[in-house]
Every structure is written in C-alpha cells, then in structure tokens.
Structure 1
Amino acid sequence: MSLSKPTLFIKGNPFNCECTHISSLKWLRENQNKFGDLNETYCIDNQAISIANFFQEASFVQFELKCQTKEWLIASSIMLFSVIVVVLVPVVIKRYRVHVDYLILRLRSRWRGVMRTRYSQSFQFDAFVTYAEEDYTLACHTFYQVLSNRGLKISLPDKDFVPGLSTVEQMLQCIDDSRKVVFVVTEKFLENGWSSYTVQMVVTHAFHNKRERSIIVIIKDDIPIERMPRDLKFVWWSIVSIRWPNCEENMGSFWDEITAALLHVPNT
C-alpha cells in the first residue's frame, strides 16, 4: 500500500466560503486531487452547492469577482475618506482658527499649571484697550492720557506687551487683568485684518469666562452698526457701545460716559 499520495476525507467539516477566506479556498481548489469527498462537502453559508461544484471555473471566477468588488469598495471608501479629511481639515482649521488657537492656548496653560480665573472683583487695570496700529496716537495719547488723568488704569498693547513673547498669550493675560475690554472702532480698525482676529479671540475668551458683558465698543467716524465686525454684532446685546462725538463741546460728557462704563461692575 503506497502512502505517497494520501487522500483526505473532510465530509462534515464546516467550510466558510466567504471572501475573508479566499486564500484558503484558492489553495483548496488548487489541491482538489488530495481530497476524496469534495462533492459531498458543503459551505456552511450555502448548503445547496457542494465544494466540488463551487470550485468549477465559472462559479469560482464569479466568486473572485465578487470578492474583488468588495475589496475595491473598501479601498475606495478608505481613499475617499482620506481625501475628505485631507481637504476638510485645513478648511476647518482656517475657518475656526481662533477657536483652535484658543484651545491650544488653554491646553498649554493647563500643562504649565496656569489656570485662568473666572470673574473677579479685583483687577490690575480698569480696561484693556485694543485698536488698529494706525490709531496709535488716538489710543495711546488722547484716550490713554485723558482716562489716566481721571485716575483710571489703562492697559495698552504698545505699553504692556513684551517684544518676543506670544502676542495672543499676552493679550489674554491683559484681558484677565482688566475689568473691561475696550475696542476703539475706526475706519482703520475695520480695514485691519489683525483686528478681526483680535475681536474673535476676545469674544471667545470673554464667553468662555462668562465676561461677555465686560466689552465696551467706542465707535468713531460715524460708522453704522451694520459695519461692525461680525463677532461683535453677535454679542451686541451684551456689550456697551459709545459713539465718539463729532463736536468738541460734547467731549466732556463723552469721557464721563466712558469713565462710568469702565467703573461699572456687571452682575454675575
């Protein structure tokens, strides 16, 4: 009796004929001569056709095509998802740049053990003033000097920011150290792209710390409310807006109104 070519009998064994086992099925098909009862062995998911019939050319080719279609569908789905992620992520980051920056800043503060506090009755400054670079003289001379002469402590980027350090971090720190945040809105302010970023960052920070009522907007050049930065218009209901007068005789009441607004403590 020769044992060089043994014959295997596998009738009754469960055979999974799904695409996930295609490699095993191909090997079994290529070695059919080693099995003696494939015509009596059936797939567990299809008892109507034997393994021998399943391995016939037409039937098995159809099975391979079906498996290739599934593999291609999975690969295509992965590729499509990857393309969508690659395209959308930069768009989302650009659209929500301020929120991403703010989140990163918050995480950095946590890692350093620096936690920004909620609203407090004690502040280093009465106001942090933000303005367009072109309005330096208006903000740093006229605005700053008048309010300082009235006993108010004013924080300005050009006065309090340290060169070389993060502008955003210093801005948020100055906001935390100030009772109010003042925007000097002029034509130059509306034209300045950095001011738009500043507005978004201040509004985001104010809402996060429940200080949206601490924002004051000084409107100059007869600018209508419709032209205000979008992020300011979203919170217009909660802020104080004061118009810069066109005539000199009204300047006294104008400074009185600003002083009262800066010293007012909102309900929390």
Structure 2
Amino acid sequence: MAETNGLSLWILCLILQLVLSSASTPTPCPKVVDHKYFNCSHHSLEEVPKGLPSTLEVIVLSHNRIRKLDDDSFQGLHNLVQIDVSYNSISKISTAAFNHLTKLETLILRKNQLHEAESAYRNKPILSFHPQDLNCDHKIPLYIWIVIGTGLILTIIITIAIVKKRYYIKYLYYVVRAHTKGYQPLDNEDNNYVYDAFVSHSSEDEKWVKDMREKLEKENGFKLCFHKRDFDIGKPIATNIIESIDASRHTICVITEAFLDSGWCKYELQFALSRLFKERKEVIILIFLQKIPDQLLTDQLKVHRLIRRFIKDNTYIEWPHNPDEELAFWEKLKDSLR
C-alpha cells in the first residue's frame, strides 16, 4: 500500500514538472498567413521573433516574457504601423529601437516595467518617444536633488534671517506705513524737541517709573513722554511710538525681565537703536533695575553693549541696591539727559 502511494506521488510530481516546463518553455509562433498582421501572444517568448516578412503592419506580442527591445528587434519591419508588446517584462528599450520605423503610429507598452512610460508617453507621437529619458528605476535625477537641496538651504537661511531680524523688519514696516499716512519726522537740527526723553518700560514697573517721573519732572523740570499720558488717542500704537521717539532728545529704556518679555518694549528699543545708527548721536539711556542674566538679553541689548564700548558710559546706568547710592544714580541720570 505504501509503495502504491509513493508511486502515485511520483507520477503526480512528474506531471506537474512537465506542465510547468511546458508553460515556461517558449513555443513556436504560428506561421504568417496574413502578411500584414501577425499575432504571437501567450507563447512565452523572450525576444521578438526573427525572419518576419517586411510587409507586416501590425504585430502583437503581448503576454510573453520579453525583457528588452534592442536596436535590431524590429529590423527590416519598416512597414509597421502598430506594435503591441503589452503584458511582458520589458525594463529596457534601446535608444534606436524604433528609429527606422517611420510609419509607426501606435506602440502599446502597458503592463511592463516601464512604469513611467505608461503615463509620460501615452497618446504622444512615436517620434517623441525617447527611451533614454525613461527613469525605470524610479531614481530622482541628481540635478533635481541639487535644486531641492539649494531651495531648502535658501529657505532655512531666509527663515533664520527673518526670525533674527523680525523686530527690525517690523520697525521698517511701521515706518513705511507711518510715512504713507503723511507722517514726517521732526526737524530737530536746532534741538527743538518736544520731550527730553521718551520712556520705554513695562507696565509691571509702573511704580518705579512713577517715582522717576516725580524726580525728573516735578523736581528738576525735565519733560518726559509716557505711553498712558502722552500718546494720541486714535492713532496706531506703532505710529505713536515712532513720532514720540522722534520728538524726544533721548529714549530711556527701563530694563527688567518684564521689559524683555514685552513685544512692544523690544519694538521701542529697536526704533531707538535705528535712530542711534541714523543720527550717530547719544540718544539711548539704558537703566537696569535688575541684574539680567546674559542668556536673557535680547539681540538688541547685546548690540547696544557693543556700541557702549565706543560711546560714553553715562548711557548705561544700574539702579543701586544700596539706598545711599541712589542720590548718585539720579545725578548721573540727570546729567545724561542734559
């Protein structure tokens, strides 16, 4: 019984091997009956048959195992109008495969491994078909990577520049907008300023600023410009800032951590720095109420510290922790405003 089962299994394997072998082995094409039409599909062909009559106009070689089309694949078949090589395994087409086929109108390549050819050359003239332009491996050409990389680098550089210079860009925007609305800076060549100083400060430091106002205005006769008191109602804040800084001989910046957290305070500092660069005069007075860690300082304050090396030291004043030194502080501030 066991020998019978073994024999049956051996016969089954043999039959299966014969079937697979016959399916994968190329079979001869039928003889050419119609000298204009030839069909040799489903024959497991691995290349275009040779020796076909030159009178053929249509050749169908679909559902085979053709992997490439060489320069001589259709040699002598100069009357071909249509070629169907669909459902094969074509992954390479020679650059001169169709050069001599001047009458060729239709080339069917669907279901091969030339995936890009299916969309890139569909419904286009055969003369526009250039196999060397195909990207069968789906690799992005080097020049495209160069363009993408260059664009990415430029985008990063521009983004960094915009982030680092955002306050200055905002400043330029507000200046241009103010000028388009008819604003003109004061002519202060003869020191005809409206204010001795514009005071830039955080609302959290209002109490100290109020004491400063008492000291400078009521006790010493200086005229200061403050947001809440002197800004024109109805005007945009940015326009008020530009006009007030331009109308003031100096800009006093009361530096605290709250100041550094305020967007408008940093705008005001940037406006004042722009005026410093423009007029090349001592126009900014920094008053540090707190000891500010260097990592918290904005780029504008770091720039001003560099500038301070080349200008008078009286533009940089620290509020003393010792009450006995407060009198000297006020005298230095008054001296800076004169």
Whether the 8 Å contact between 1:203 and 1:231 is mirrored in structure 2 is no
Aligned residue number for residue 93 of structure 1:
162
Counterpart in the other structure of 1:135: 205
Match of 1:214, as an amino acid?
V
The structure 2 residue matched to 1:244, chosen from 316, 319, 334, is 319
Match of 2:304 in 1: 232
Q: 3-state DSSP class of the match of 2:172?
A: helix
Helix, strand or coil at the partner of 2:192: coil
Distance 1:90 1:224, change over 3 A: closer
Give the corresponding residue for 2:268: 198
Return closer, same or farther for 1:250/1:76 CA change in 2, 3 Å cut-off.
Answer: closer
Q: CA deviation at 1:135?
A: 0.4
2:289 — aligned with what?
220
- Distance in 2 between residues matched to 1:218 and 1:132, nearest whole Å: 13
Tell me which of 158, 161, 176 is aligned to 2:246: 176
Q: CA deviation at 1:217?
A: 1.6
- C-alpha offsets along residues 67-88 of structure 1, whole Å, 9 cap, x if unaligned? xx9x955555554455455555
Percentage of matched positions with identical amino acids: 21
More helix by share: 1
Distance 1:33 1:190 in 2: 78
Aligned residues: 208
Of residues 331, 334, 337, the one that matches 1:256 is 331
Deviates more, 1:253-262 or 1:112-121: 112-121
- Once residues 117 and 169 of structure 1 are traced to their aligned partners in structure 2, the CA distance between those partners, rounded to angstroms, is 14
Give the match for residue 125 of structure 1. Answer: 195
The answer to whether structure 1 residue 189 and structure 2 residue 259 are counterparts is: yes
Aligned-partner residue type, residue 231 of structure 1:
V
CA–CA distance in structure 1, aligned partners of residues 225 and 232 of structure 2:
13
Q: Deviations over 1:171-207 (max 9, x none)?
A: 1211100011111223543455553443333213321
**Residue 154 of structure 1: aligned partner:** 224
Q: Partner letter of residue 234 of structure 1?
A: L
Displacement, 1:167?
2.5
Shift in alpha-carbon separation, 1:97–1:164, aligned structure 2, 3 A: farther
Deviation at 1:236, TM superposition (A): 2.0
- Give distance in 2, aligned partners of 1:231 and 1:169: 24
What is the rounded CA distance, in whole Å, between the counterparts of 1:196 and 1:106 in structure 2?
16
Q: For structure 2, which runs of at least 5 residues remain unmatched after alignment?
A: 1-95, 105-129
Amino acid in structure 2 at the alignment position of 1:64: D
Deviation at 1:143, TM superposition (A): 0.8
Mapped to 2, the partners of 1:143 and 1:216 lie a distance apart of 14
| Unaligned runs of at least 5 residues, structure 1 | 1-25, 35-59, 264-268
Shift in CA distance, 163/244, structure 1 to aligned 2, threshold 3 Å: same
Match of residue 105 from structure 1 = 174
Separation in 1, partners of 2:263, 2:279: 25
Structure with higher RCO (Cα < 8 A, 6+ apart): 1
CA RMSD of aligned residues (A): 3.8
2:241 alignment partner AA: M
Q: Quote the Cα distance in structure 2 between the aligned partners of 1:246 and 1:177.
A: 33
TM-score, with structure 1 as normaliser: 0.61
- What amino acid is aligned across from residue 204 of structure 1 in structure 2? S
C-alpha separation in 2, matches of 1:33 and 1:216:
87
Distance in structure 1 (CA, Å) of the matches to 2:305 and 2:326: 26
Taking a change above 3 Å as real, the CA distance of residues 224 and 33 of structure 1, as seen in their structure-2 partners, is closer
Task: Evaluate the alpha carbon distance shift between residue 107 and residue 191 of structure 1 in structure 2; reply closer, same or farther with a 3 A threshold.
Answer: closer
Contact 1:155 1:174 in 2 (8 A): yes
Q: Does the CA-based 8 Å contact 2:171-2:267 persist in structure 1?
A: no
C-alpha distance 164-31 of structure 1, shift in aligned 2 (>3 A) = farther
Greater Cα offset, 80-89 or 119-128: 80-89
Secondary structure, aligned partner of 1:123: coil
Q: 1:77 to 1:107 in 2, by over 3 A?
A: farther
